[in-house]
Amino acid sequence: MTQTLILFDIFSYGCMNCLRSLGYIQKINNKYVKYGLKTILIHPPEWDFEKDSNNILRAVKKHDIKIPIIIDKDKKIIKKLKINFWPTQVLINNNKIIYKHVGGGNYKKLENKIRKILKVKSNVLFDNEPRYTKFPTIYAGKKKKGRISELKEKLKFGTIYKQGNWKQNNEFLQGNGSLTIKTKGKIISFVAASLNKKPINLKIRLNNNIKNLKIIEPRLYKIIELKGDEEKTLNLETKLKIKIYSFAFE
């Protein structure tokens, strides 16, 4: 009889690290589901808009997520699991937690644990631990101690510099005008939403490159993907009011 082993992946659709980690979790699920692995995503809300199940289901469709998902609106499940950070992976066998890892990475160790429990002898997915660039997220709201300053000549990574009419709320920075940050990594993304639920055409300047990005529903938007990961200066301009929650880099 095939043994059932449960893998919980604590995941939030507005989290770049969670989306990146999900790619590895999906590979593990696809390989080991036939041996008895059952993978379930648990989605607690990082932001208030993630308490809306319609937003989550829209994101599931957008990212073509096939793994079953439990919406943990009130964080009851993760509290029982004693988790307050995600992504996190939890393996449960016979109703007991046998493995827990907080954050991205450790996919080779997770796979080896699964293989041992399910007694799998086929080739492994990860001969070596996958490597990826990880830079700290820049938060805009008060709750996560977002650093906001008036625009200066010398910029520091980790601070958001503003010009115009901006107000820092608990979760986000809202208003219109321009915002400037120093960036890191090859992929630059941010969590944002239109304040009035109307499409916003955001003008983006990255050094000498200019592009436009349409913002509507609250989610993680990819701003730009670069060839190199050297530090650059990013400027966002909008005439309509916008909410900005965080900037993420990969």
Confidence of residue 247 (pLDDT cuts 50, 70, 90): very high
Burial zone of 200 (CB within 10 Å; 0-12 exposed, 13-18 middle, 19+ buried):
buried
Q: What is the pLDDT of residues 23-64, one digit of tens each?
A: 999 999 999 999 999 999 999 999 999 999 999 999 999 999
Which domains, from first to last, does the chain contain? 5-118 (3.40.30.10), 138-249 (2.60.120.260)
Residue 207's pLDDT is what? Answer: 82
Confidence of residue 1 (pLDDT cuts 50, 70, 90): very low
SS3 150: strand
Report helix angle 107-118 to 16-32, nearest 10: 30
Which run of H or E residues covers position 175?
strand 173-183
pTM comes to: 0.91
CB 92 within 8 A of CB 6: yes
Count Cβ neighbours within 10 Å for each residue of 97-124 and write b for 16 or more, e otherwise.
Answer: eebebeebbbbbebbebbbebbebeeee
Is the pLDDT at 3 greater than 70? The verdict is: no
